[in-house]
Amino acid sequence: MPDEGGCPFSDSGTPPPFPFRRDRQFDLPEEYALARQTCPVAAVTLWNGQRAWLLTRYADYQKVLLDERFSGAFAREDFPTVTEARRAIDKLERAFVGMDNPRHDRFRRMFTREFTTKRMLALKPQIERLTGDLLDAMAEKGPPCDLVADLAVELPALVMCELFGSPYEDRTYILKCAAGRHGLSQSADEAAQSANDLVQYCRDLIAAKERAPADDMLGRVIRDHVAPGDLNREDLANICSMILRAGHDTTTNMISLGVVLLLEHPDQLAAFKADPSLTEPAVEELLRYLSPVQFAPRRVALEDVEIGGMTIRKGDGVFALSPSVNRDPDEFPDPDRFDITRRTNHHMSFGFGIHRCLGQGLARVELQVVFRKLFERFPDLRTAEPLNRLAFKYDSQIYGLYELPVVW
Ligand code: HEM
């Protein structure tokens, strides 16, 4: 008999408020492990009173993200969010990240050629150059440096400029528009304003590219899809804005978190430094262990669906919790151990199903280059403050660090 929402977290059986708190830097909220063991599809209550379900196990996560009875349409009234501000942004989402099929695939296909492994590897020399320049600037400035401001924020922003063929100087404005979007305490008006500003920036960029065509991602999409009439400029502006947002904060926070996690595990860091062939598995393990996107992917049930013995009712929200499924012992032996030599590592940090991350190849190249080069350049790098004094983003939908003072 399917259950209607018994709850492992509270004696009263009333679904508790979500999200939960992390108590320590690299530990997940303890409710995730509890749910995985006792009630892997667990009911929670959102800020607006809506009921939602957490998918805490790998198998349920994959099942739901392939199931078309769940919608990923951000603009729906019943689409689940963890804050009111996020609701305001979701309502404005016009790009394919917030669409169901067949519309999603129609738009996404126009961009897949731009994100192939081959194209991303072709960007590697530029990424190496940009990383080298930022590390040179850090060396020149001398310790202490803020690794967030001087490297982790700058590199993905410069890479996005490279990808879009936009001037490097524009990154400050792009960052301003993207900044704070994921904060849990941001107001709905602020969130909507920055989302609108970024779309306007993209409209202007498209107009500039049309005046001066170029052989970069935006130039090619304009030539192949806008010119023949199968993509209009407004849809393109919305997609560009979404890609700019998606490609920045995630990678930035992976860089800062990854540096701290490696420094906190000297044996793993020593192995990484000694063996360049560990670069790729180390980045996969960092992605698995850190899972910076905290409350995604999200879906809403279009009809009553039974999952893991629970009935998810039409209109209920679903949070497919990547951080939790990445610690599922049924998939990852000894899941709470950070081990850069892990052999099989099919983590879900980039999501799954039709919305799996389009930019994962680019993110991987950036992370592989930055961790390798950083520790080559500064082999004695260390944090200037103890772990418990570092400013972790406990209040953000993308987990990370606000600042990271380092010395060498
Ligand atoms: C470490 C860095 C990154 C992480 C952890 C990450 C994570 C994710 C996740 C979890 C999703 C799925 C969202 C959902 O199902 O609702 C996603 C989607 C997406 N990501 Fe990433 N991402 C990263 C970097 C990037 C980069 C560098 C780009 C582009 C330059 C990018 C572009 C996108 C796009 C366009 C989508 C939407 C795909 C679709 O709906 O079809 N991401 N990402």
How many helices (H) and strands (E) would you count in the chain?
17, 12
For 216, the token pair is 């970069």
Strands (E) across 65-117 are located at: 70-71
Per-residue confidence of the chain (408 residues) as pLDDT tens digits?
Answer: 455 555 666 666 689 999 999 989 999 999 999 999 999 999 999 999 999 999 999 999 999 999 999 999 999 999 999 988 888 888 888 999 999 999 999 999 999 999 999 999 899 999 999 999 999 999 999 999 999 999 999 999 999 999 998 899 998 888 877 765 555 556 777 777 888 899 999 999 999 999 999 999 999 999 999 999 999 999 999 999 999 989 889 999 999 999 999 999 999 999 999 999 999 999 999 999 999 999 999 999 999 999 999 999 999 999 999 999 999 999 999 999 999 999 899 999 999 999 999 999 999 999 999 999 999 999 999 999 999 999 999 888 899 999 999 999
For the whole model, what pTM was predicted? 0.95
For 270, the token pair is 């020593």
DSSP single-letter state for residue 109: H
Ligand 1 center from residue 349 Cα (angstroms): 9
**Nearest residue (CA) to ligand 1, atom 43:** 357
**Nearest residue (CA) to ligand 1, atom 13:** 297
> Any bridge partners for residue 398, and if so which?
293
> Who contacts 102 (Cβ-Cβ below 8 Å, separation ≥6)?
none
| Other beta carbons less than 10 A from residue 314's beta carbon | 12
Which domains does the chain possess? 30-407 (1.10.630.10)
Q: Give the residue from 198, 199, 167 showing the smallest Cα distance to 180.
A: 198
Ligand 1 atom nearest to CA at 111: 35
**Nearest residue (CA) to ligand 1, atom 1:** 251
Return the best residue to mutate from 357, 396, 399 for the ligand 1 pocket (most ligand atoms within 8 A of CB).
357
Q: Is 301 left (phi over 0), alpha (psi -120 to 50) or beta?
A: beta
Place of tokens 């803020």: 146
Ligand 1 center from residue 96 Cα (angstroms): 11
**Nearest residue (CA) to ligand 1, atom 40:** 97
Q: Could you give the CA distance from residue 36 to residue 387 in angstroms, rounded to a whole number?
A: 28
CA distances for 67 relative to 60, 63, 214, 276, angstroms: 11, 6, 40, 40
Ligand 1 center from residue 238 Cα (angstroms): 15
**Nearest residue (CA) to ligand 1, atom 18:** 357
**Nearest residue (CA) to ligand 1, atom 21:** 357
CA distances for 31 relative to 8, 11, 140, 306, angstroms: 8, 14, 45, 22
Place of tokens 């610690």: 327
Ligand 1 center from residue 131 Cα (angstroms): 22
Q: Any residues with Cβ below 6 Å from ligand 1, and which?
A: 72, 96-97, 108, 243, 246-247, 250-251, 254, 292-293, 296-297, 322, 349-351, 355, 357-359, 362-363
Buried-exposed string 17-40: b where 16+ CB fall within 10 A, e elsewhere: ebbbebeebbebbebbbebbeebb
Ligand 1 atom nearest to CA at 98: 40
| Other beta carbons less than 10 A from residue 160's beta carbon | 24
**Nearest residue (CA) to ligand 1, atom 11:** 357
